[in-house]
Structure 1
Amino acid sequence: MSKKIDDLRSALELLKELDGQLIETDVEVNPEAELAGVYRYVGAGGTVMRPTKEGPAMIFNNVKGHPDAKVAIGVLASRKRVAALLDCPAEDLGKLLHKSLENPISPVVSEEKAKCQEVVHLATEEEFDIHKIIPAPTNTPDDAGPYITMGMCYATHPETGKSDVTIHRMCLQSKDEISIYFVPGARHIGAMAECAEKRGEHLPISISIGVDPAIEIGSCFEPPSTPLGYDELAIAGALRGEAVKLCRCLTVKQNAIANAEYVIEGEVVPNVRVQEDQNSHSGYAMPEFPGYTGPASNQCWMIKVKAVTHRKNPIMQTCIGPSEEHVSMAGIPTEASIYGMVEKAMPGKLQNVYCCSSGGGKYMAVLQFKKTVPSDEGRQRQAALLAFAAFGELKHIFLVDEDVDCFDMNDVLWAMNTRFQGDADIITIPGVRCHPLDPSNDPTCSPGIRDHGIACKTIFDCTVPFDQKQRFRRANFMEVDAEKWV
């Protein structure tokens, strides 16, 4: 990769050089549902309602109501694009992230003039209105309101002093208020807010939008890979080989990503919970990664905005919840977490991991396992159990042999149809906490489910028994260089 990538703009410049990976339009688009409606057809992919497809990223240069801003969508909605942006073969992305996780480079605070502070809007100004400053889209007509879907939330634990970055769903509520939803126990900044609330304190927070894709990917790691106190910006530093640069916020005691397109400065207010759809009364939040529009929460926390800063002619970055973009951001760190844990327990056995689109990057993983000696039989199932431990939101795991392409679900289903027997190769683990956004994880779907968010985790062992490997040899074609003919 010849170009150095350290922000969104340099990432987009690289994509412009790659055939079919970025398109722009000057046709006016309404950020209220229309923008997402367009991209659904162009390149969203993932679990978005059909028809959709995986396609190029897109820049909207003419956004209604925002003459000086652009909106970029789908930057990471392709594993091929992620690979190009991280300068890595697509099949090795999980391994690259695992290596970066093990060799972090901590962020640094720069005293230079920050690009993200070229233009400053203070909430104390009479004309201040976050809706007019940030072209945050609504993805569907049912959305609770305009959402920030690619905001890098950065905060510091009030007792330990450790900082962290995570992504949350945030809805613009008023001219200076944003609701933020914390999945209970799932994100570190939620724990920080709870600690601050117990102390009767506001939690200073910055929300950086439009950043280096390495930051967006690295921010999606979860425990146990990144325990409370691990700053995921250090993963992005490792991916780039240099520290992420931060700047000091202007109105709150917090740092932000210095070369972001937008930064929102604010405080999470203690002892305040807001209704997410208080303005639309739609009953819904926004489209989530499983492909359904989630219900509006009445337990959202509230951020009081103190300022918005941005670059000149800023680029708002957004994503469609169920798209291939979520698969890249959530799935590749999950692959890294699984690979790392299994590799430590049984080195050399796990060949690769894929958290596929149909699982939204969270619900399903395919593990490619190599049995080399008779005692390896059964260890593939141990690897699956370790994967469940490495990433608690996983629901289904498919185990395949090394001759199966784990990144090709047709090949995975071929293995299931020719190497799997339901009465012998299904391992169920009922009554385990999983993900609350899966609507089937509910007592109404099964009497064995005790509470919403509990699931039956299942292993589908599609590997060949070691002593029968000779019976299951794939057709052996001649190795040739096909370029002579095509």
Structure 2
Amino acid sequence: MRGRLADLRTALAGLDATPGELVRVREEVPARYGVSARYARWAGAPAPPPTGPGPAVLFEQVTPDSGAPSAVLMGLYGTRRRAAGLLGLTPVELPHHLRDAVASPLPAVHVEDAAAIRRTACAPDLTTLPIPVLTDEDAGPYLTLGAVLATDPETGVRNLSIHRMCVQGPDLLTIWMVPGRDLERAHQAALRRGESLPVAIHLGVAPAVLLASCCPTSLVPAGLDELAVAGALGGAPVELMPCRTVDTDCIAHAEYVLEGELLADTMPENPGGAAATLEFLGYQGRAHPALPVIRITGITARPGAILQAVSGPGHEQSVLLGFGMEAAVLERLSRRGAPVSSVHCHTAGGGQLMAVVQWRRKRAAADDAAVRDHCRAILEEFRMIKLVVAVDDDVDPESDQDLWWAMATRLQADQDVVVLPDREGFPLDPTQSPLYSPTVSADGRTAKAVFDCTVPFAQRDRFRRPGFTRDAPPPAPAPRLPDAPLPR
């Protein structure tokens, strides 16, 4: 992949040249609690305060439970501006480019000379890697940005997706797969054949690859390879090479590749407690009683490999999830003919629960009802989205100040809030339960709402914002009047 960014290190080199974008921590830090505690002040909401979005942080000497120190990267995607900037784009542009990449994918290719790729074979021992343990409640060390590549043995379709995986032993991981998604279907297909599913888990990949792997199924249809989306987004094909110990491919320039088999076996995510690890909505996660198991058969690494991770709740995971959701909403609204300028899936909702939709200027009174109809459609079609905030094109969706200003001055609660009761939602939001609200029929059901902060067409002149002229020429000097005779 030789397009916008071939690998993670190219991205870091670009940040090194920009003051304040990359912090290097050179002292030794323990993987168990040390990385997360030091990064927390930069993680950003929904991490608990005091925190705020900050730089990417490269911990150069992170000590695992056993083994030598090595590097861990946190926060590369910790702000929307930086995440989009890694691809030479703005946050508003990136979702449109994701849509284009889905429409015109660029398939991955195999490297011509795999022997020329410098990768070192390591012992298949996860305890020697600097995998962070985030809190003392966690079930153990978690791979939080592990991009799993696998091929469905029945369809031949390849899938790349991010999953949380807990280290259960030197060569064992449990994996949480969202039911019904591509990786679970490929796993079930392998089990029907009496086989395990070969997988390659990547830690530290190019930005285009990671962003493509986070796209929802509502954007990337079944049968489309996320690596082809990544190639189109990055401007060049992703390069693959064969794994050494399992019959599948891996991304040639990944920092770490964990080769393994997704087995039929299951085991508890946390044999010793009720907690899993931190969830992206900001709460401590609950451990699953039985999860599928991956047996690691081999590990390869680039020289001086960097293990990339996220901290659970925080801007970074929300940013990664948000861009793909924005592209999916834009695609649906485009099919409906909605005049939309941009969509911003706010990090306060984990990049999933809250969508800000910016509408182009209304042209007729009928547009008042059309805005609400389109917003209702978003809530009905996307189960994860709980709140839609509609704003005009003179409001900046990326500015919390502007959003709150629009909410305060362009909304009357009794007529501009539309509630859709008891819809399908997302159970990790703790309000989506009958324990919280008697109007919710089951866990994972929720009331949804539209906050229409757009100006009524008939009253648009009453809501004009002042315009300040930029780069205006200096005012012309006042004309000189003839001297008047002095009074006597």
Shift of 1:422: 1.7
Q: Give the equivalent residue in structure 1 for 2:146.
A: 151
Q: Give the equivalent residue in structure 2 for 1:126.
A: none
Q: Give the equivalent residue in structure 1 for 2:204.
A: 210
Distance in 2 between residues matched to 1:283 and 1:211, nearest whole Å? 32
Shift of 1:456: 1.5
Distance in 1 between residues matched to 2:116 and 2:74, nearest whole Å? 21
Matched, 1:455 2:449: no
1:245–1:388 CA distance, 2 compared to 1 (3 A): farther
Shift of 1:115: 7.5
1:438-473 per-residue CA deviation (whole Å, 9 max, x = no partner) reads 111112111222222111121111111111111221
Distance in 1 between residues matched to 2:116 and 2:323, nearest whole Å? 29
1:364-423 per-residue CA deviation (whole Å, 9 max, x = no partner) reads 010011222233222212322343355331111101111111111221121122221222
Distance in 1 between residues matched to 2:226 and 2:359, nearest whole Å? 29
Matched, 1:336 2:327: yes
Distance in 2 between residues matched to 1:483 and 1:5, nearest whole Å? 41
Q: Give the equivalent residue in structure 1 for 2:266.
A: 273
Q: Pick from 290, 295, 307 the counterpart of residue 298 of structure 2.
A: 307
**Share of identical aligned residues, percent?**
36
Q: Give the equivalent residue in structure 1 for 2:179.
A: 184
Matched, 1:383 2:363: no
Q: Pick from 193, 212, 223 the counterpart of residue 199 of structure 1.
A: 193
Q: Give the equivalent residue in structure 2 for 1:365.
A: 355
- Answer yes or no: is the 8 Å Cα contact 1:443–1:452 preserved in 2: yes
Q: Which amino acid aligns with 1:275?
A: P
Shift of 1:57: 0.5
Q: Give the equivalent residue in structure 2 for 1:481.
A: 471
Q: Give the equivalent residue in structure 1 for 2:120.
A: 119
Structure 1 residues without counterparts, runs of 5 or longer: 124-128
Distance in 1 between residues matched to 2:457 and 2:80, nearest whole Å? 33
Distance in 1 between residues matched to 2:426 and 2:270, nearest whole Å? 22
1:426–1:195 CA distance, 2 compared to 1 (3 A): farther
Matched residue of 1:267: which SS? strand
Distance in 1 between residues matched to 2:355 and 2:388, nearest whole Å? 5
Alignment of 1:22-37 (within 5 A): 22-37=22-37
Q: Give the equivalent residue in structure 2 for 1:400.
A: 391
- Answer yes or no: is the 8 Å Cα contact 1:334–1:391 preserved in 2: no
Matched, 1:167 2:162: yes
- Answer yes or no: is the 8 Å Cα contact 2:397–2:403 preserved in 1: yes
Query: How large is the Cα RMSD of the aligned pairs?
Result: 2.0
Q: Which amino acid aligns with 2:215?
A: F
Shift of 1:116: 7.1
- Answer yes or no: is the 8 Å Cα contact 1:68–1:314 preserved in 2: no
Q: Pick from 295, 304, 307 the counterpart of residue 316 of structure 1.
A: 307
1:93–1:388 CA distance, 2 compared to 1 (3 A): same
Q: Give the equivalent residue in structure 2 for 1:262.
A: 256
1:60–1:430 CA distance, 2 compared to 1 (3 A): same
Give TM-score scaled by structure 1 length: 0.92
Shift of 1:224: 2.1
Shift of 1:309: 0.9
1:246–1:287 CA distance, 2 compared to 1 (3 A): same
Shift of 1:165: 0.4
1:296–1:115 CA distance, 2 compared to 1 (3 A): farther
Matched, 1:472 2:463: yes
Distance in 2 between residues matched to 1:228 and 1:299, nearest whole Å? 27
Distance in 2 between residues matched to 1:477 and 1:381, nearest whole Å? 28
Shift of 1:122: 5.1
- Answer yes or no: is the 8 Å Cα contact 1:149–1:170 preserved in 2: yes
Q: Which amino acid aligns with 1:88?
A: L
Matched, 1:137 2:158: no
Matched residue of 1:382: which SS? helix
- Answer yes or no: is the 8 Å Cα contact 1:224–1:390 preserved in 2: no
Shift of 1:111: 4.1
Distance in 2 between residues matched to 1:202 and 1:482, nearest whole Å? 68
Structure 2 residues without counterparts, runs of 5 or longer: 475-488
Distance in 2 between residues matched to 1:73 and 1:449, nearest whole Å? 38
1:116–1:228 CA distance, 2 compared to 1 (3 A): farther
Distance in 2 between residues matched to 1:483 and 1:392, nearest whole Å? 52
Distance in 2 between residues matched to 1:466 and 1:114, nearest whole Å? 65
1:92–1:60 CA distance, 2 compared to 1 (3 A): same
Matched residue of 1:319: which SS? coil
- Answer yes or no: is the 8 Å Cα contact 2:69–2:130 preserved in 1: no
1:3–1:267 CA distance, 2 compared to 1 (3 A): closer
1:231–1:115 CA distance, 2 compared to 1 (3 A): farther
Q: Give the equivalent residue in structure 1 for 2:88.
A: 87
- Answer yes or no: is the 8 Å Cα contact 2:35–2:132 preserved in 1: yes
Distance in 1 between residues matched to 2:418 and 2:380, nearest whole Å? 15
Larger Rg: 2
Q: Which amino acid aligns with 1:267?
A: E
Q: Which amino acid aligns with 2:206?
A: D
Q: Which amino acid aligns with 1:131?
A: T
Matched residue of 1:26: which SS? strand
Q: Which amino acid aligns with 1:28?
A: E
Q: Which amino acid aligns with 1:6?
A: A
- Answer yes or no: is the 8 Å Cα contact 2:3–2:236 preserved in 1: no
1:114–1:222 CA distance, 2 compared to 1 (3 A): farther
Distance in 2 between residues matched to 1:417 and 1:399, nearest whole Å? 13
Distance in 2 between residues matched to 1:3 and 1:166, nearest whole Å? 21
Q: Give the equivalent residue in structure 1 for 2:12.
A: 12
Give TM-score scaled by structure 2 length: 0.92
Q: Which amino acid aligns with 1:274?
A: M
- Answer yes or no: is the 8 Å Cα contact 2:63–2:70 preserved in 1: no
Q: Pick from 406, 409, 416 the counterpart of residue 400 of structure 2.
A: 409
Deviating beyond 6 angstroms after TM superposition, the runs of 4 or more aligned structure 1 residues are 114-117
Distance in 2 between residues matched to 1:68 and 1:446, nearest whole Å? 49
Distance in 2 between residues matched to 1:482 and 1:287, nearest whole Å? 51
Distance in 2 between residues matched to 1:397 and 1:116, nearest whole Å? 47
Distance in 1 between residues matched to 2:309 and 2:247, nearest whole Å? 26
1:116–1:168 CA distance, 2 compared to 1 (3 A): farther
Q: Which amino acid aligns with 1:246?
A: L
Shift of 1:274: 1.3
Matched, 1:430 2:429: no
1:288–1:467 CA distance, 2 compared to 1 (3 A): same
Q: Give the equivalent residue in structure 2 for 1:58.
A: 57
